[in-house]
Amino acid sequence: MSNLSVRLLVFFIGLPLLLAIVVLLDEPYHIGFNLLAIASSAVCTVEAANLFARKAKNYRLHGLGLPLLGTILPIAAYLSVTGMVPIESQLGILAIATMATLGVEAFRKDPAEFSEILPHATTTLVLLLYPGLFVAYAVRITGLPNATVLVLVFLCAVYLNDSLAYATGKLFGKHSRGILAVSPNKTLIGFVGGFVMSPLTIVVAAAVRPDVFPGGPLRHLVLGSLVGLAVILGDLAESALKRSATIKDSGTVIPGRGGLLDSVDSALFAAPLYYYLYLILYM
């Protein structure tokens, strides 16, 4: 079976399953989607750590420390969605986690390790934010009114873009490769073919649920277009990390797609933009 066939098979099984989780396990507080988001953040943090560890030699955070690091901000977001803590507390949690990350470096005993403080502290701070901070915004979408519709539309806007970009690039992009050195197999045809799906998704959603996406077509196109660009940028940003680490995939969890981070990289960048743009444009 070709790589394209495997990826399409994963798409036609994985996306409907994900959408079903959103619809069927929507109470309390979209528990199914949010638990999946928190667990995904944990796995992706471990995969991201494997990328950074290639540059930060002898990186010290191992075992349960890495997945726990990746769940701090998504869990904080979920607690705010449920009303257990105020939404402003997330900034405080981020500040405390940053203090702990930097403060622990002051207790190194071996002077020979002092040169490792900057790369190690930087790596831990990045792993706290990527993917955790981005996943936190996916969780925060579930705290908005009409959350089920908003999450469904978000997932479609991201993964229809991502999947069609790959399919059109493979089928029609043979002569438009190499436009970006960081990801030479990406094609211009693929970018365009995938990008149009994001605004199209929002426009269709607005036609079906104008109560959730009110107003004229311009605001729908703005939301869809900026989310579409974020999807592309998220994919390219992870490609840059992998290029620096000199590896092809972040892992082997998903057949045909590599690691879990390889499958959610686009959604990571799109989530905060989708969240804030919805607040600005529709609320």
Q: What is the mean pLDDT of the chain?
A: 91
Written as one string, the DSSP assignment of 145-161 is TTHHHHHHHHHHHHHHH
Position 161 scores a pLDDT of 94
Distances (CA, A) of 34 to 17, 92, 164: 15, 21, 26
- Domain residues of the chain, as ranges? 1-24+146-283, 31-142
Q: Are 270 and 231 in contact (CB under 8 A)?
A: yes
- Token readout for 96 is 């405390």
Q: How confident is the model at residue 2 (pLDDT cuts 50, 70, 90)?
A: low
- Write the pLDDT tens digit of every residue in 227-238: 999 999 999 999
- Highest-pLDDT range among 93-102, 144-153, 162-171: 144-153
Q: How confident is the model at residue 214 (pLDDT cuts 50, 70, 90)?
A: very high
Q: How confident is the model at residue 278 (pLDDT cuts 50, 70, 90)?
A: very high
Is residue 3 predicted with pLDDT exceeding 80? no
Whole-structure pTM value? 0.94
- Token readout for 45 is 């943090």
H-assigned helices in 53-88: 65-81
Q: Are 263 and 234 in contact (CB under 8 A)?
A: no
CA 134 to chain centre: 6
- Write the pLDDT tens digit of every residue in 77-132: 999 999 999 988 889 999 999 999 899 888 888 888 888 889 889 999 999 999 99
